[in-house]
Structure 1
Amino acid sequence: MGKKQFGTRDLFFTGSLLFGLFFGSGNLIFPVALGQSAGANFWPALFGMLLSAVGLPLLGVCAIALTQSNGVLSLATKVGQHFGRIFTIALYLVIGPLFVLPRLADTAFVISFGTLTTSPWWLLLFSLLFLGSAYWLARRPGKLLDYIGKILNPLFLVLLALLLGAAFINPMGGTSHQPQPQFAQRPISSGFSVGYNTMDLLAALAFGIVIITSLKARGVTKPKYLALTTIKAGVISTGLMAVLYGALTYLGASSVAKFDIQANGALTLALTAHYYFGQWGQVILAAIVIVACLKTAVGLISAFGETFTDLYPQWSYQRFILIATGGALLLANLGLNQLIAYSNPVLMLIYPLAITLVLSSLISTLTQPPHYWSYRLAMLFVLIPAILNGLSNLPASVFSQVSWLHGFTNWNMLLPFADYGLGWLFPAILGLMVGLLLDNFWDKEL
């Protein structure tokens, strides 16, 4: 298939595939909670969230495309061979069998059936069916465009449109209630923090290989056209994400007139679904969440298999996706609260490294070679703040048992923007600037 045969319809479905991979349960829950908390500051808070929840994933897609990388492995190897391998393995273990993948199964269970039963046996059965279905769909990576882009994602959008349509046609209230303190004082930065917590930049790096594989399976192989098509798909997917974030944030803000402010976005969605559809509301919400989590799980399993096959070609793709699914099944049955408590520190450690890698990659496309120091110093400067960021997010139970960890939290808070979770940002920029200067000097010396 050549360039002429890959038309607008194919591009739309590729964008749909990427959106489907991105948009999981957290992307439903966070904007709803944001709307409830922001109230009268709805618009500036939404703007802040879009900067991080849409802007960062789009930058990740662009970094993969513009550097003509096959995925995070080839991108991270620009820092160094050993770093590239270690970072790639860590990233895919975190978003695969160790944390994110089992969390998807748990989240789908808690929101859909958590009000009906807390039995661990039902969780085991559900996670077995859920992850088994994800494994079955991930067996053929070249077919993900059909499974997710053409089937699961349209089904998800239709189900979500029922809920959002009801909220817009018959609003529960306005958006003028008093915002929570942090959104009253700094709505844009607070919204940015909420979007930052979606961690979708990790997904952008992880799913790059899925999109590249899908496009190559349809004959898009020329490097420049492959890069351009990937960026266009990224714009389509993040544009759709932005629209849904706006609608979900409005739903959350308008719900306060009926339900007051809830502990989290999942409770708000459950109450809203019941308000509009009665007993059927739980069924609709369960279907929305299960499909949202399933399509992301399929993408994660496939990306894990593709990447580890590149790392260890002596093992097959089918074996790796079986390992990912089996590991996730074991950990899913620890329970959602346990997973969240112990996954957040690891996510908060690896996320600054991922953003720094993306920034270094994008800047490298705008400057002349060499890029030896700019990649390495940026990553070196951000490493300690990233470790402090991870330690600061350890569970409270750990801090109560290991008192000396409080010192790391205090050090972390000394960094600029640390109260937004961005203490690593200034060191990353500093390392990148020093690295670019050294690269420029080195190039002139040569």
Structure 2
Amino acid sequence: MSVENHFGHWGTSPSDPVTTALAGIETALGDLLAMDPAYWRTSQKKDVLVRLQHLKAQQAALELRVLATAGDIAEETGDKDASAWMRAELLVDKGVARSRIKFAVAVSKHELLATGLADGVVSHDKAQVITKALDAIETNPAASTEDLLLAEKLLVDYATHLTANELRIVGKRILVEIDPARFEDAEAKAHLAEEERAQQKTALRIWDNHDGTVGFDGVLPVALGMRFKTHVEAWAQPRKQQIVEKGTPLPSWERLMGQGLARLLETIDPDALPRHGGDATTINVVISLEELRKELGTAILGFDETNGTTISAAEARKMACNATIIPWVLGSDGQVLDAGRSSRFFQPIQRKALRLQQKCCQAEGCDMPPEWCDAHHLTAWSLGGKTDLADGVLLCPHHHRMAHAPAYVHERLPDGTVRFARRS
């Protein structure tokens, strides 16, 4: 519809059809917002959600059409470009504004996609997926203009019954679907190139939050990343199952995954780790004998205070139960009194025997399976405890922490279970 005869200057005429149409939309939305959906019929709620989905796509189509032709706004306002005007007038960050304008221009190049948005059958997020796929085809030297048009048609059609993520997967292989003979080899080469780029992007950052926690983030190639996710989930799921069976509130999945990662690290076989200078990769804990025997002592995770991290003696004692840790115990003059003799640690055959004998965590009322438990010295090594089956007990990670926590005491009952109580 032409609007030239309806106004003298943009937006000033009461007969301006753009202003009239926008006022109608605002009035209709205001009417709906004045209603309380709690009183709507279920069929009405479903209808509203379905139709709003279409309206959102159409609203996105309208916005993109305007942004694609918004260069004259900057000319009139004296701004550097339309994104600068959006920053000043709409309070949209310039980076976001530029991305919107770039996307609008990209959509305007693809007639079928723009029509799909205007018809409400292609959502904004799906349109972004499609433009990215079409951009990749445009830069593919093996793809023709006909391939590009056919890919656009297929992707717009797929958008009517696929989610954005599903559409993204299809978009990566759309050329193979168009012509397998021409594009299968190219796809294989593209995957190899993607994997090589992923290897170059592989990174890990670890930092001390100085609040008793360590933060980290990183990037892995997809194959390794999914393996990592699977390993962590394998340790997280049994914890979730135990919590569900006990009827206690379920922690967030993020917390369960964090606990799963912690358990994965705690149970790594040191014999499977690489060797440096002839020694298996280990964590070193330096602590004086006096501090080790204290209930509230401290230790150094590392070799010295400059390059290490301070932890509690309770945590050091807990770590000393695992063969993955080498505790260095020093006398008052710095003499090494003990360097983690192998006899201190429960050997694999001993742990198997404990699992066979004890069946589950030995804390009173706990039934955590034995494969998820640690072997713990009932009498602490620092107090003369022996590494034998008579002095060994299986404890789940939760009760293992309690066994080393100064706030709790524990005793072995006649039936072999361990009772915990808060220290009075």
The bucket for the TM-score relative to the shorter chain is under 0.3
TM-score, normalised to structure 1's length?
A: 0.20
Report the structure number with the largest CA radius of gyration.
2
More strand by share: 2
Higher relative contact order (CA 8 A, sep 6+): 1
More helix per residue: 1
Q: TM-score, normalised by structure 2?
A: 0.20
